[in-house]
Amino acid sequence: MNQTKYDILVKGGTVVDGTGSPGHKADVAVKSGIIAAIQPGLPEDSASSVIDAGGKIVCPGFIDAHCHTDWAILDGPWDDHQERQGVTTQIGGLCGTSPVSIREHFEQANKQGLGTNYALFAGHGSIRHEVMGDENRKPTSEELDQMKALLKTAMDEGALGLSTGLIYRPGVFSDTEELIEMAKVIAPLGGIYATHMRSESDDIEKALDEAITVARTAGTPLQISHIKVIMPRNWGFAAKMLDRIRQEQGRGLKITADQYPYAVTGGGHYGAARLVEGYDRETGFDMFKEQYQDAQKRKEMAEYASALIAERGGPEYFSIIKASQDKLVGMYLHDALSKQAALNLGEFIVEEIHKSQGQFAMVYHSVSEEELAQFMQQPWVMGGTDGVPGAFHPRTHGTFPRILGRYVREKQVLSLEEAIRKITSLPADTLGLEERGRLTPGAIADIVVFDPDTVIDRSNMVQPTLYPDGIEHVLVNGVPVIENRERTGAFPGKVLLRK
């Protein structure tokens, strides 16, 4: 019997190992889910199957440090947008929302099959909701004890730490003291405090202060979720934020962050429901049509929309994603407006909502790309999609190829090696994912083969679910999930528990 030494040989590529070291030409051999050898010139007949990686980069699988897959993972057929962008491990349970029983959730996920590895944070909001509903008050000491007990159970069941979402119900109702008490539960267990801060806009300075106070007082590392500064009037604050963070890091507090590489945020969708006061699921387009017939009301609607846009910096920060005519789609609002000389801003919006039967929608480019790049260049900022399956935002499908294509190749914000480090070993080390995030003999074989000349996101604000280009092969625990850019249908992913 002719037994081969290896299962898979990834041959002829440039190995970028995830540590930040320069890439070098070598072959990577995989045996039983583990990287068995990395060296040049391994013979083709030493493996039962060979992946041709000539001209390609071979690197550790990407770790999505922040996503919301847990909201949908048990509901339908497996969604492969993560594998398609090279993600081999995804972390859910962020922004305060997670399954309350992590153990049950993991059992079901395992039963269903996982295309990638999967780990969770325990969500403060979900735990608070379980104990006291959506009540806007402090918990009694008994309720706080119950919340702490649920958190302790989640940690014992493998959660990586505690997440908060302090702009959402019920997280928004909690005070700093409550957060400190909760964070104290995870501190002795080595858990991380990950926070969607109370403000990413006008009150961001206070919000950052609170995040630091919680982590410092409880004694946990701090992970700032989807780090950014929102609204043009706050641009310029990133530098101050970075000064503060570096100062705290210098005083021994471990601070890291995740980031998605887009100037439009998850809250940046502006459809009729947002542009017309009182327009919601119940009143909807019927209410709008009625008001539209009345000249006075039509004028008031236009004034409302116009004031809203002005308050957010003006029409140059909005681009159109749905409109009555195709030629308007993709245009910035001020350009579209300049072609409609007879209408002012508010009138244009009202007319568009009318002509499109309520479908008109825009996105708000509320983040400065300069500041986005500034955050991206920090050695402690990692990639995270903040992906919400089914949402309007292209980040769910495009984050990692966009970092490598737009920010490495096109804009040269990062070197290739540094970008790969920030989406592999940095999250693996920060989150305690042992044996992952590096290509080295003995490590688990989560591997991506991609083309550095073509890798790019294709998903955009108008078509948010297009798969990226350039991600050629993806192995999860040594098993191909993407082969020649196509999904294999394998489910080799594992639940990863806090060690």
Residue 277 Cβ, how far from Zn ion at the closest point, in Å?
A: 26
Total residues in contact with Zn ion, by rule CB under 5 A:
2
Binding span for Zn ion by CB under 5 A among 87-95, 131-139, 414-422, 431-439: 87-95
Cβ proximity to Zn ion: between 121 and 407 the closer is: 121
Task: Determine if 194 is a binding residue for Zn ion (CB under 5 A).
Answer: no
Binding span for Zn ion by CB under 5 A among 93-101, 374-382, 430-438, 465-473: 93-101
Cβ proximity to Zn ion: between 151 and 224 the closer is: 224
Q: Using CB under 5 A, which residues numbered 285 to 344 contact Zn ion?
A: none
Residues 6+ apart with CB under 8 A from 102: 93, 120, 122, 154, 157, 158, 159
Cβ proximity to Zn ion: between 393 and 406 the closer is: 393
Binding span for Zn ion by CB under 5 A among 43-51, 88-96, 425-433, 467-475: 88-96
Cβ proximity to Zn ion: between 134 and 434 the closer is: 134
SS3 string, 78-110, reads: CCCHHHHCCEEEEEECCCCCCCCCHHHHHHHHH
Task: Determine if 196 is a binding residue for Zn ion (CB under 5 A).
Answer: yes
Whole-number Å distance between alpha carbons of 172 and 198:
7
Residues 6+ apart with CB under 8 A from 231: 201, 202, 312, 313, 366
Cβ proximity to Zn ion: between 196 and 473 the closer is: 196
Residue 67 Cβ, how far from Zn ion at the closest point, in Å?
A: 11
Task: Determine if 95 is a binding residue for Zn ion (CB under 5 A).
Answer: yes
Task: Determine if 393 is a binding residue for Zn ion (CB under 5 A).
Answer: no
Residue 361 Cβ, how far from Zn ion at the closest point, in Å?
A: 21
Binding span for Zn ion by CB under 5 A among 79-87, 121-129, 192-200, 304-312: 192-200
User: Please, are residues 147 and 131 in contact by the beta-carbon 8 Å criterion?
Assistant: yes
Roughly how many angstroms between the first and final C-alpha of the chain, as a whole number?
40
Task: Determine if 198 is a binding residue for Zn ion (CB under 5 A).
Answer: no
Dihedral over Cα of 255, 144, 125, 137: its sign: negative
> What letter represents residue 363's amino acid?
V
Binding span for Zn ion by CB under 5 A among 153-161, 195-203, 313-321, 422-430: 195-203
Q: Where are the alpha helices (DSSP H) in 91-199?
A: 102-112, 124-132, 141-156, 176-186
Cβ proximity to Zn ion: between 105 and 196 the closer is: 196
Residue 97 Cβ, how far from Zn ion at the closest point, in Å?
A: 9
Q: Which residues bind Zn ion (CB under 5 A)?
A: 95, 196
